[in-house]
């Protein structure tokens, strides 16, 4: 796919997308997590890019939500869905659902939503989802004990690129390989001509290393699993709770994770643990061994009567001769024993094997002396030996485990993706259950809603009265104050938006005709000044141009100017919309005036008060078709006329 062809994607973002493994697939599926894995793309931006890509694929021009209020209704719908997602991924992924004009897109989401609605959002699954997040690649790995070596400058650059975690050394001659062999626990040589070379250390000739670099940095795989451990276990728990079968064998995954520590190191290998402890405790062991030897010598000397010949004594006094000579003669056996004790302590306390013990021979020994002292150079050689053995052992185990884990990499990614996708499905399912939704039919003109209940009202959802309402063509909606006219428009807007998103709607039944654009105008706050009035009129002028296929919802447009002028303007707009076969619902208190001014028979529906109880209106929330509802003032005058003898109220009533 040409990424720059996606709306909102420039050269820079396209380059970031190109770095993804399978950007086309991620964009097609709206996989926000995969898109956000690309450098410099946040999750929020990823959702916008995915939306752009989906629009492009389905040929959607993105113009469905044509006004601010229409966009607000969409935002509210999205908010209700997002409130029901557990993961941030789920929230972002839901943003890739948008009302579309294209049948193919609507069908795609409808089939997703139909499956989703069957899912049972059990609390155990929702709890488990809490820890699931998209997997992160391991970063910041630096390997110091192994290196890559090559004689070729070009391969050097390739190696740096393919294996950024390892030091890469350029060598001129084989002698240098020996030096590297001494400095690193393992050297990987890229040049085939060194095959069979015999140099000190662990030097391996691996000419095809750059073709499968991950095998040479097992840390990459191990860190990936270590860093994502919680997410992986959470995703596994989601599948357990949901009873779904992920692609990956969860038992193998758990067993493998038990073998990796939180830093990506190996756990549970006795030999590696022995070597690691030996390296760490070497200095302490040598120092204690020295004390053990010296304690022995001190006791031996203390218990001994030393006879010193006169000449020796003189030579000691006159020439400052050292006591060592005396020691070697008098205490040779005790000294040997002290050395043996010290060596034994090092070997035993560090649990050294026979080969390593040989190095200890050189740590304590030599001519008898007091106090007994260790040979630092020998300690250092032992340390180098133990460290190299430890690193080699670790590398061997890491390589083996990483090879096993690499097999699991794709399956665990699929497992986490499936868990995250389940969150999106469960959000849709919870939305449908919380608001008693049904899948609408998309057919015909206008809309027909049965038992619709808006979740956007300021009353708890349980207390919302169901509304039946259907419109085909152009209609005025009249009704008492606070009867629910605005709420009805909101309900229609919400159901039309959700239906065009491919999602279920909060109603017992709904048929929605496909529309090309939703124009919803909220009630204006008071009369407009001349300039604002002119620009509003221009807006409606544009609206009625090419209005076929549009659904227009307008709330009390009369408030923009004086009632007489308003009625004429509304009548003119309705005429234009009617001529073009658009669907429209205009809420207005000026139904009579509009009808008079209109050049065609304008349909009027009404939200009727069923009575006044304790000064409060009781209304039937479902608009009556072809019925001009009586206004609140009329109802009150009627009440007064009924209650009193006064002819004034009866005369007043006559005037309505």
Ligand X SMILES: Nc1ncnc2c1ncn2[C@@H]1O[C@H](COP(=O)(O)OP(=O)(O)OP(=O)(O)O)[C@@H](O)[C@H]1O
Q: What angle do CA 25, 31, 35 make, to 5 degrees?
A: 85
- 3-state SS assignment for residue 481: coil
Q: What angle do CA 32, 37, 41 make, to 5 degrees?
A: 75
DSSP conformational letter for 260: B
443 vs 515: CA distance, rounded Å: 10
DSSP string, 517-535: EEEEEPPPSSPPPHHHHHH
94 vs 238: CA distance, rounded Å: 19
Of 455, 483, 513, 593, the residue at the interface with ligand X (CB under 6 A) is: 483
Only segment of 223-231, 275-283, 479-487, 566-574 that touches ligand X (CB under 6 A): 479-487
Q: How far is the CB of 244 from ligand X (least distance, A)?
A: 39
Phi-psi region of 9 (alpha: psi -120 to 50; beta: other; left: phi over 0): beta
Q: Which is nearer to ligand X, 209 or 471 (CB)?
A: 471
586 vs 588: CA distance, rounded Å: 6
Q: Which is nearer to ligand X, 485 or 500 (CB)?
A: 485
Q: How far is the CB of 597 from ligand X (least distance, A)?
A: 21
544 vs 562: CA distance, rounded Å: 22
Q: How far is the CB of 548 from ligand X (least distance, A)?
A: 28
Q: Contacts with ligand X in 594-633 (CB under 6 A)?
A: 621
Q: Which is nearer to ligand X, 145 or 508 (CB)?
A: 508
Q: Which is nearer to ligand X, 423 or 608 (CB)?
A: 608
6 vs 430: CA distance, rounded Å: 32
Other residues' Cβ atoms within 10 Å of the Cβ of residue 450: 16
Q: Is 100 annotated as a binding residue?
A: no
Of 252, 387, 399, 482, the residue at the interface with ligand X (CB under 6 A) is: 482
Q: Is 485 annotated as a binding residue?
A: yes
8 A C-beta contact, residue 191 and residue 208? no
Q: How far is the CB of 612 from ligand X (least distance, A)?
A: 15
Other residues' Cβ atoms within 10 Å of the Cβ of residue 649: 18
Q: How far is the CB of 652 from ligand X (least distance, A)?
A: 21
Q: What angle do CA 63, 64, 68 make, to 5 degrees?
A: 90
16-53 core/surface letters (b: 16 or more CB in 10 A; e: else): bbeebeebeebbebbbbbbbbbbeebebebbbbbbbbb
Q: How far is the CB of 483 from ligand X (least distance, A)?
A: 4
- 3-state SS assignment for residue 86: coil
Q: How far is the CB of 598 from ligand X (least distance, A)?
A: 21
Mark 437-476 with x for binding to ligand X (rule: CB under 6 A) and - for no binding.
--------------------xxx----xx-x---------
**Tokens encoding 420:** 């995250």
Q: Which is nearer to ligand X, 213 or 484 (CB)?
A: 484
Other residues' Cβ atoms within 10 Å of the Cβ of residue 157: 12
Only segment of 89-97, 228-236, 485-493, 566-574 that touches ligand X (CB under 6 A): 485-493
Of 368, 484, 493, 606, the residue at the interface with ligand X (CB under 6 A) is: 484
8 A C-beta contact, residue 189 and residue 149? yes
Q: Is 655 annotated as a binding residue?
A: no
Q: At what angle do helices 43-58 and 11-18 cross, to 10 degrees?
A: 90
Q: How far is the CB of 479 from ligand X (least distance, A)?
A: 5
Q: Which is nearer to ligand X, 69 or 239 (CB)?
A: 69
Considering CB under 6 A, how many residues would be counted as binding ligand X? 15
Distance between first and last Cα of the chain: 66
Q: Contacts with ligand X in 86-145 (CB under 6 A)?
A: none
Q: Is 480 annotated as a binding residue?
A: yes
Q: Which is nearer to ligand X, 356 or 620 (CB)?
A: 620
Backbone angles phi, psi at 188, to 5 degrees: -100, 120
Of 134, 479, 513, 623, the residue at the interface with ligand X (CB under 6 A) is: 479
Of 315, 481, 548, 644, the residue at the interface with ligand X (CB under 6 A) is: 481
Of 29, 374, 485, 514, the residue at the interface with ligand X (CB under 6 A) is: 485
Q: Which is nearer to ligand X, 486 or 580 (CB)?
A: 486
Q: How far is the CB of 481 from ligand X (least distance, A)?
A: 4
Of 87, 487, 561, 631, the residue at the interface with ligand X (CB under 6 A) is: 487
- 3-state SS assignment for residue 607: strand
Q: How far is the CB of 499 from ligand X (least distance, A)?
A: 19
Only segment of 19-27, 366-374, 477-485, 530-538 that touches ligand X (CB under 6 A): 477-485
Q: Which is nearer to ligand X, 238 or 495 (CB)?
A: 495
Name residue 469's beta-bridge partners. Answer: 449
Q: Which is nearer to ligand X, 38 or 487 (CB)?
A: 487
Only segment of 47-55, 63-71, 388-396, 482-490 that touches ligand X (CB under 6 A): 482-490
8 A C-beta contact, residue 82 and residue 43? no
Q: Contacts with ligand X in 400-429 (CB under 6 A)?
A: none
381 vs 387: CA distance, rounded Å: 10
64 vs 512: CA distance, rounded Å: 15
Q: How far is the CB of 451 from ligand X (least distance, A)?
A: 11
Q: How far is the CB of 619 from ligand X (least distance, A)?
A: 8
Q: Which is nearer to ligand X, 479 or 513 (CB)?
A: 479
Q: Which is nearer to ligand X, 350 or 629 (CB)?
A: 629
Q: Is 484 annotated as a binding residue?
A: yes
Q: Is 599 annotated as a binding residue?
A: no
Mark 46-85 with x for binding to ligand X (rule: CB under 6 A) and - for no binding.
----------------------------------------
**Tokens encoding 265:** 């190191």
Q: Which is nearer to ligand X, 173 or 458 (CB)?
A: 458
Only segment of 115-123, 238-246, 372-380, 481-489 that touches ligand X (CB under 6 A): 481-489
Long-range Cβ contact pairs of 403-406 (< 8 A, separation 24 or more)? 403/215, 403/218, 404/256, 405/221, 405/222, 405/224, 405/225, 405/256, 405/260, 406/214, 406/221
Residue of this chain nearest to ligand X (CB atom): 484
592 vs 567: CA distance, rounded Å: 9
Q: How far is the CB of 587 from ligand X (least distance, A)?
A: 7
Q: Which of 294, 282, 264 is nearest to 138 (CA)?
A: 264
486 binds ligand X (CB under 6 A): yes
Residues annotated within a binding site for ATP: 479-486
- By the criterion CB under 6 A, which residues form the site for ligand X? 457-459, 464-465, 467, 479, 481-487, 621
Residues annotated within a binding site: 479-486
């Amino acid at each position: 796919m040409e990424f720059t062809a996606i709306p909102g994607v420039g050269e820079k973002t396209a380059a970031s997308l190109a770095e993804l493994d399978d950007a086309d697939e991620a964009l097609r599926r709206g996989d926000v997590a995969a898109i956000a894995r690309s450098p410099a793309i946040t999750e929020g931006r990823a959702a916008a890019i995915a939306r752009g890509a989906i629009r492009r694929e389905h040929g959607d021009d993105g113009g469905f939500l044509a006004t601010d209020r229409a966009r607000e209704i969409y935002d509210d719908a999205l908010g209700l869905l997002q409130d029901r997602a557990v993961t941030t991924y789920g929230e972002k992924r839901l943003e890739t659902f948008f009302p579309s004009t294209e049948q193919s897109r609507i069908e795609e989401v409808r089939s997703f939503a139909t499956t989703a609605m069957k899912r049972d959002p059990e609390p155990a699954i929702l709890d488990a989802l809490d820890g699931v997040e998209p997997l992160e690649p391991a970063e910041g790995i630096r390997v110091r004990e192994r290196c890559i070596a090559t004689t070729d400058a070009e391969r050097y650059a390739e190696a740096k690129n393919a294996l950024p975690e390892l030091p890469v050394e350029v060598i001129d001659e084989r002698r240098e390989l020996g030096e590297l062999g001494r400095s690193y626990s393992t050297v990987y040589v890229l040049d085939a001509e060194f095959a069979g070379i015999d140099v000190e250390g662990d030097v391996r000739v691996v000419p095809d290393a750059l073709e499968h670099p991950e095998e040479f940095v097992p840390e990459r795989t191990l860190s990936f699993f270590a860093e994502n451990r919680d997410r992986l276990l959470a995703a596994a728990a989601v599948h357990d709770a949901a009873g779904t079968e992920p692609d990956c064998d969860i038992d193998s995954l758990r067993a493998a994770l038990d073998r990796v520590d939180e830093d990506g190191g190996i756990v549970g290998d006795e030999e590696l643990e022995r070597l690691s402890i030996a390296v760490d405790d070497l200095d302490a062991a040598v120092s204690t061994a020295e004390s053990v030897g010296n304690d022995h010598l001190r006791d031996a000397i203390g218990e001994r009567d030393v006879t010193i010949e006169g000449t020796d004594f003189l030579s000691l006094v006159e020439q400052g001769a050292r006591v060592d000579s005396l020691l070697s003669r008098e205490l040779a056996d005790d000294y040997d024993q002290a050395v043996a004790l010290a060596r034994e302590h090092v070997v035993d306390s560090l649990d050294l094997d026979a080969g390593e013990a040989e190095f200890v021979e050189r740590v304590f020994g030599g001519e008898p002396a007091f106090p007994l002292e260790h040979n630092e150079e020998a300690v250092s050689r032992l340390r180098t030996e133990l460290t190299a053995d430890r690193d080699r052992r670790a590398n061997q185990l890491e390589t083996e485990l990483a090879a096993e884990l690499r097999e699991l990499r794709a399956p665990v990614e699929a497992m986490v993706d499936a868990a995250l996708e389940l969150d999106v499905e469960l959000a849709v399912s919870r939305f449908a259950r919380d608001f008693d939704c049904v899948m609408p039919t998309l057919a015909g003109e206008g809309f027909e809603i049965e038992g619709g209940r808006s979740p956007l009202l300021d009353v708890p959802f349980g207390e919302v009265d169901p509304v039946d309402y259907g419109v085909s063509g152009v209609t005025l909606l009249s009704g008492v104050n606070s009867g629910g006219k605005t709420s009805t428009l909101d309900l229609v807007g919400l159901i039309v938006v959700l239906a065009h998103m491919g999602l279920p709607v909060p109603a017992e039944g709904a048929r929605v005709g496909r529309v090309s654009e939703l124009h919803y105008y909220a009630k204006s706050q008071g009369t407009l000044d001349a300039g604002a009035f002119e620009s509003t009129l221009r807006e409606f002028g544009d609206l009625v141009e090419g209005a076929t296929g549009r659904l227009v919802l307008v709330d009390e447009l009369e408030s923009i100017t004086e009632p007489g002028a308003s009625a004429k303007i509304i009548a003119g707009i309705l005429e234009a919309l009617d001529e073009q076969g658009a669907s429209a619902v205009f809420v207005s208190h000026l139904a009579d005036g509009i009808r008079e001014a209109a050049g065609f028979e304008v349909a009027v529906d009404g939200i009727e008060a069923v009575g006044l109880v304790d000064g409060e209106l009781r209304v039937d929330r479902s608009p009556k078709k072809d019925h001009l509802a009586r206004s609140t003032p009329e109802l009150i005058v009627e009440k007064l006329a009924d209650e009193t003898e006064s002819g004034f109220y009866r005369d007043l009533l006559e005037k309505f």
